[in-house]
Amino acid sequence: MTTTNKRGFAQEVWDFFCSLKLSIFLLIGLALVSIIGTVIQQGPQREYLATLSETKIRLYSALGFFDMYHSWWFILLLYLLTLNLICCSIKRLPRVWKVVSEPVLVMDDGFEKSLANVKDLKLKGSKEELKSRMEAFLRAEFAVPVITEKDGEYHLFAQKSPWCRLGVYVVHLSIIVIFVGALIGSFFGYKAYTNIPEGGAISQVQTQSGKMIPLGFDVRCEKFSVSFYDTGAPKEFRSVLTVLENGQPVPGFQNRPIIVNDPLTYKGITFYQSSYGQSDEGALYHLTVRDRKGGAPVKLNARQGERVALPGGAFLSVMEATMDVRPFMRGFDGPGAQVEFTPAGGNPQPFVILSDKYESFNAQHGGDLLITFDGMDQKFYTGLQVAHDPGVWVVWFGCFLMVLGICMAFFMSHKRVWARVTDSGVTLGGSASKNPAGFEICFDDLVEKIGKA
């Protein structure tokens, strides 16, 4: 009793995982729960969290809604889908394989009744003659037939593209292959980010989780540039990169331009143009200082924060600067700098200076000195997305299988034709796994041609 009960239970579990109802439930269920993560911000920002109540935040984080697609229950659903898929395929594949590998060669009466297309043809000639005629006919018009002799009758069987019945299983396999590829990527790959100032080099990158990963080589940013359309919309972000091994440029990886949609790959690690910014450390500011009482103007250069001695014992440091003040100061344009001016023996005074176009504006400050800002040698840093994903080719292979399998399952049909040859004539039967209306036309066509042959 106990053993049958146990078998009964195992059987029930097996049936549960083989059921198509479960698949439909899982597919619809995944569709529904996926919505949650598109409505609730994933990896939420502080501003977003501020709009939620305390209880909501506690509830959402307990349910994993803030990183929903990696929460245990979402992953569990994906594993259930995979298990369901595997069980279903294991259960059904042998049956389909049998249809493909052991076709029904003989059309007996019972089988004939199950076929949608059957035609009795009265033809003159002996059994032998008719057999050869039918064989030649099927070979020419349909496919090479297999001939079986049974109970004094000849049975011919011919089929086209039997393997397309496996299309569904190719699709299902492809989904598993894609999952495997994704798992490989998540265990052995990483996504990271790095900023490189122009002229600077990096040898490690930081992953999303904050871990530093050594690259095993260096990447130097030679130059970064951004260009705009007349409309003001960005046209191109371009970094020029050089890969260095032991401090030496690698041939073929020297001064390689990369732009959005055209990355650089070296040793399986790919660098993508992602963002940019103004690098402060490198910028060199140009100033002109003139004594109001007369005298030749003096040109000065300063780095950010550096205290520069001015004629007459005063000091100046540039805090920050821009090549275009329009976004910050209404009615002004051109370069501008926020400076801190310390008169000889006085306290520091912060103010803004502009180009020589705004003489009277600049004249408001500086004591005896008239200071103008001439501009700067601006340096950028380039922001690169860095990815290493050894599973990606497995994923592409899975995608290829999926397209192939869908085409086999949807657009191809396993067509079969049987001919039973007796002394009184030929009975032709046919069936197709897809598109019965289309096959009927094809079958009628065959029947008509036999009449003429």
Shortest gap between Cβ of 386 and other proteins (angstroms)?
A: 7
How far is the first Cα of the chain from the last one, in angstroms, to the nearest whole number?
66
Among other proteins, ligand HEM, none, what does residue 84 contact (CB within 5–8 Å per kind)? ligand HEM
Choose between 27 and 212: whose C-beta lies nearer to ligand HEM: 27
Q: Which residue has the tokens 């041609």?
A: 449
**Interacting residue ranges for other proteins, rule: CB under 8 A:** 20-21, 23-24, 27-28, 30-31, 34-35, 37-39, 42, 69, 182, 191, 229, 231, 233-237, 259-261, 263, 270, 272-274, 385-387, 389, 392, 395-396, 399, 402-403, 406-407, 410
Backbone dihedral angles phi then psi of residue 294, each to the nearest 5 degrees: 120, 170
What does the alpha-carbon distance between residue 332 and residue 324 come to, in Å, rounded to a whole number? 9
Choose between 193 and 332: whose C-beta lies nearer to other proteins: 193
Shortest gap between Cβ of 126 and other proteins (angstroms)?
A: 44
Shortest gap between Cβ of 437 and other proteins (angstroms)?
A: 9
- Helical residues (DSSP H) of 115-270, grouped into ranges: 127-141, 167-188
What does the alpha-carbon distance between residue 22 and residue 84 come to, in Å, rounded to a whole number? 7
Q: Does 175 bind ligand HEM (CB under 6 A)?
A: yes
Choose between 1 and 437: whose C-beta lies nearer to other proteins: 437
Q: Does 172 bind ligand HEM (CB under 6 A)?
A: yes
Q: Does 93 bind ligand HEM (CB under 6 A)?
A: no
Question: What are the residues whose beta carbons fall under 8 Å from the beta carbon of 71, sequence distance 6 or more?
Answer: 63, 64, 65
Backbone dihedral angles phi then psi of residue 202, each to the nearest 5 degrees: -130, 155
Choose between 284 and 407: whose C-beta lies nearer to ligand HEM: 407
Q: Which of 20, 116, 136, 146 binds ligand HEM (CB under 6 A)?
A: 20
Do 129 and 152 contact (CB within 8 A), yes or no?
A: no
String of DSSP letters for 96-129? HHHHHHS------HHHHHH-SEEEEE---S-HHH
Q: Does 81 bind ligand HEM (CB under 6 A)?
A: yes
Shortest gap between Cβ of 89 and ligand HEM (angstroms)?
A: 7
Q: Could you give the 3-state DSSP secondary structure of residue 324?
A: coil
Q: Could you give the 3-state DSSP secondary structure of residue 272?
A: strand
Q: Distance of CA 71 to CAs 67, 68, 207, Å?
A: 6, 5, 20
Q: Fill in the per-residue mask, 399 to 418: x = in contact with ligand HEM (CB under 6 A), - = not in contact.
A: -------x--x---------
Shortest gap between Cβ of 396 and ligand HEM (angstroms)?
A: 16
Dump strand ranges (E) for 1-160: 117-121, 146-150, 153-160
DSSP letter for 262, please: B
Q: Does 164 bind ligand HEM (CB under 6 A)?
A: no
Q: Does 171 bind ligand HEM (CB under 6 A)?
A: yes
Stretch that binds ligand HEM, among 46-54, 169-177, 264-272, 357-365 (CB under 6 A): 169-177
Task: State the DSSP H helix or E strand holding residue 316, giving kind and residue range, or none if neither.
Answer: strand 315-322
Among ligand HEM, other proteins, none, what does residue 172 contact (CB within 5–8 Å per kind)? ligand HEM
Question: What are the residues whose beta carbons fall under 8 Å from the beta carbon of 167, sequence distance 6 or more?
Answer: 404, 405, 406, 407, 408, 409, 410, 412
Stretch that binds ligand HEM, among 20-28, 139-147, 182-190, 204-212 (CB under 6 A): 20-28
Among ligand HEM, other proteins, none, what does residue 85 contact (CB within 5–8 Å per kind)? ligand HEM
Among other proteins, ligand HEM, none, what does residue 272 contact (CB within 5–8 Å per kind)? other proteins
What does the alpha-carbon distance between residue 141 and residue 450 come to, in Å, rounded to a whole number? 10
Which residues are near ligand HEM by CB under 6 A?
Answer: 20, 23, 26, 81, 84-85, 88, 92, 96, 168, 171-172, 175, 406, 409
